[in-house]
Amino acid sequence: MKTLVIANWKMNPQTLAEAKKLLEGTKKAADKAKGVTVVIAPPAIFLHELRASYRGKKISFGIQNAHAESAGSYTGETSLTQAHAAGASWAIIGHAERRAMGETDLDVRKKVAVALALKMTPVLCIGEKTRGPSGEHLALVKEQLKAGLADVPAAKLSKIVIAYEPVWAIGATEAMKPHDMHEMAIFIRKTLFDIYGKPGMAAKILYGGSIDETNAPSMLREGDVQGLLVGRASADAARFTRLLSAVEKA
């Protein structure tokens, strides 16, 4: 199975010309990484143009966030339907930076259901803000998972990607330890099994939070994950090239 690497460019870069350059650099690196599936989630404003200009099969495109309603009075929003029409086949949903801006579990639940209905792959982001000594974070992760998947039938689990991103490791200096990710992956799988039985095992699990070329190999070898959600290191072509080459070797 190929390793999935999702590039969340966040609010970078600043111009379409720079975005095209970053796509060009990413394309070269992605073409060399035969064992890796690459998804780019650029800022929504660049999505259509980048998708239209991309000549190749290796990279798929995603939206970093979108609204569940397909139309209406939602000033400043982009709908999942519009994102899909602009070329996004993936949707990052419930990213910690969106949750911090007020996105609720109910919003996440609706978005996951709409993305699936549009035949997009939802990347359901979950993760605790902090960890206490008595493991309260596990209850929160379980709650986020259950809420996000509340409208997803068992048969659709193979179309879902769960991105575990502990908030304390996003935009930080260090990633979580692979051993801790391994434990979390077991917990996520157990939760999915409890809800869905065996079909729950079909969901892919990714890790996200301060991943770069130095920590990606051990995370993939020891973290029990099928891929990575990468923020800052994906918005720089040279860094992302090093990362993809490290993932390919791992």
Among 7, 63, 83, 170, binds ligand PEP (CB under 6 A): 170
How many residues make up the chain in this entry?
Answer: 250
**Which residues face 7 on adjacent strands?**
40, 230
Check residue 79 and report its DSSP letter.
B
**Rule CB under 6 A: is residue 65 a binding residue for ligand PEP?**
no
95 tagged catalytic: yes
Is 121 a residue that touches ligand PEP (CB under 6 A)? no
128 in catalytic set: no
31: tokens are 């073409």
Quick check: helix, strand or coil at residue 59? Answer: strand
Q: By the 8 A CB rule, do 130 and 161 touch?
A: no
Amino acid letter, residue 125:
C
Range in contact with ligand PEP (rule: CB under 6 A) among 35-43, 126-134, 135-143, 224-232: 224-232
Q: Contact region for ligand PEP (CB under 6 A) — 136-144, 179-187, 213-221, 226-234?
A: 226-234
**Does position 229 bind ligand PEP by CB under 6 A?**
yes
Lookup: tokens for 91: 């949707």
**179 and 212 in contact (C-beta within 8 Å)?**
no
Is residue 165 near ligand PEP by the rule CB under 6 A?
A: yes
According to CB under 6 A, which one of 62, 94, 200, 209 is a site residue for ligand PEP? 209
CB nearer to ligand PEP: pick between 35 and 171: 171
237, 29 contact by CB (below 8 A) = yes
Catalytic annotation, pick one of 97, 103, 165, 213 = 165
For 171-250, list the strands marked E by DSSP. Answer: 204-208, 227-230
Q: State the residues that interact with ligand PEP by CB under 6 A.
A: 8, 10, 165, 170-171, 208-211, 229-233
Catalytic residues: 95, 165
